[in-house]
Chains A and B, each alone.
Chain A
Amino acid sequence: MNATWPQTLILRAASLLAPANQRALWLNEWRTELWYIPSRGSTLFCLGAFRDALWLRRNNLCIEKGFGIHLESPLSCLILLAMLAVGSILFAVSLPVPQNVPPFWRLRARDLPAGWIGMLPVFCLFVLATRLVIAGRPCQLPSGALARKGSPRCVFGSEDRHRAVDHTRRGLRSRTDGRCARSATGNVFVVDTDIASSARRGGREAPYDCRHDRPRHERRPRTLPPTWHGRLHRQAHSISRVEQDPGKARTCRLRRPTRGEVIVCCVLR
């Protein structure tokens, strides 16, 4: 069936729950499925997208940078705690002094619920603020070597750093027309691809399926862990955070990898 506006709207709304780096791919998947659904049950079908998107969000191990503070060192944790302590003290000092409150040793059990109810909004605000500040779970790096690497940048253009692998599949060429290369260290995959025009307009994400990015005469890279190699061809990856440095057209930022994820780096051409 062709999606009508209510279904499209539902899917769009549900896609907001999906992690940003997988949203385009997720939406595409649901739209594709919707095409096959008989119109009678399509709305009910689309409502299931909310649960799926929530599942994806809960199980997305990657921090989406750009919003919130990322506590990646003990120092940043201490600074955050100190700031919270100072804020709490200021908040407490600024509160008006209560009138006619008995001293604490004369408080009784029936006085407590009123205090709890009073603290509930503060607690909710605190939880919300904490959620926003922490902004996700820490990434789990797939290899120690990569974790130690620490460099957030990957420089293109040097043939001795990585070997380009041209793929010649017609279907792929029509969609991405890109190149997939592997770094000399074997643990960084670099995807140099044309991003869809919709992504260029201001979107920061584009679906990219590494499974199809397999050259005909592929050789198993020696340095790539076998689990990574398997997952590269099984799992779909999406390029997110297309960040271009205007002064350095061949430099881009790498996302920190999550468990089982291949680092993907892209450059707009």
Chain B
Amino acid sequence: MAEGPRLSHTSAMILQAIGAGHVYGYTVMDVTGLPSGTVYPALRRLERDELIRSQWERQSIADAELRPARKYYKLTRPGETVLETSRRRYPLLAKLAPAQEVEDV
């Protein structure tokens, strides 16, 4: 059976966190408990592999809330597939990050 690329546990955790709606770098850190030096390179790697995609928040939203716009991440379709594969490989992954409402960005 053809399966997607095998992710490390760390990458799978990050993917799971994003899939659960923790779309910002810091919230991913917060949920997974991983340090910034692990999370941000992993996010770049996942983006390079086209498992997630990043986008900057709309400037108007950030301006209205008097804060800088931040980058958020979303799963791509291949990313969802790989996440499903990873969940089978790491059964406890689903308990890591409870789903949360994705903010309007």
* Interface residues, chain A, with chain B CB atoms under 8 Å away: 29, 31-33, 35-37, 44-52, 55-56, 59, 171, 175, 209, 211-212, 234-236
Closest to A35 in B: B68
Given contacts A33-B70, A49-B36, A59-B44, 9 further A-B contacts (CB under 8 A): A35-B67, A35-B68, A37-B26, A48-B38, A48-B39, A51-B40, A52-B40, A55-B40, A171-B59
Count CB-based A-B contacts (< 8 Å).
Answer: 68
Interface size of B as a range:
20 to 34
Which partner residue on chain A sits nearest B68 by CB separation?
Answer: A32
Instruction: Please indicate the chain A residues that have their CB under 8 angstroms from the CB of B60 in the complex.
Output: 171
**Chain B residues within 8 Å of A211, by CB:** 55-56
Nearest chain A CB to B7 CB, angstrom units:
17
State in angstroms the CA–CA spacing of A211 and B35 once bound together. 28
Q: Which residue of A has the minimal Cβ distance to B27?
A: A36
**Which B residues fall within an 8 A CB radius of A?**
24-26, 29, 35-41, 44-45, 47-48, 53-56, 58-60, 67-71
B interface, over-half SS: helix
Contact residues in B for A175 (Cβ distance below 8 Å): 59
Which 7 A-B residue pairings sit nearest by Cβ, starting from the closest?
Answer: A48-B36, A48-B37, A51-B37, A55-B41, A52-B40, A171-B59, A32-B68
Interface of A (DSSP majority class): helix
* Interfacial chain A residues near B24, Cβ < 8 Å: 33, 36
Provide the bound-state CA to CA distance between A212 and B39, in Å: 25
Cα separation A236 to B55 with both chains bound (whole Å): 9
- Please measure, in the bound complex, the distance between the C-alpha atom of A87 and the C-alpha atom of B40, giving whole angstroms: 44
Chain B nearest CB from A171 CB (Å) reads 5
Contact A33 B26 (CB under 8 A): yes
Q: Are B44 and A55 in contact, with the CB atoms below 8 A? A: yes
Q: Given the known A-B contacts A48-B37, A49-B36, A171-B58, are A59 and B48 also in contact in the complex, defined by CB atoms under 8 Å? A: yes
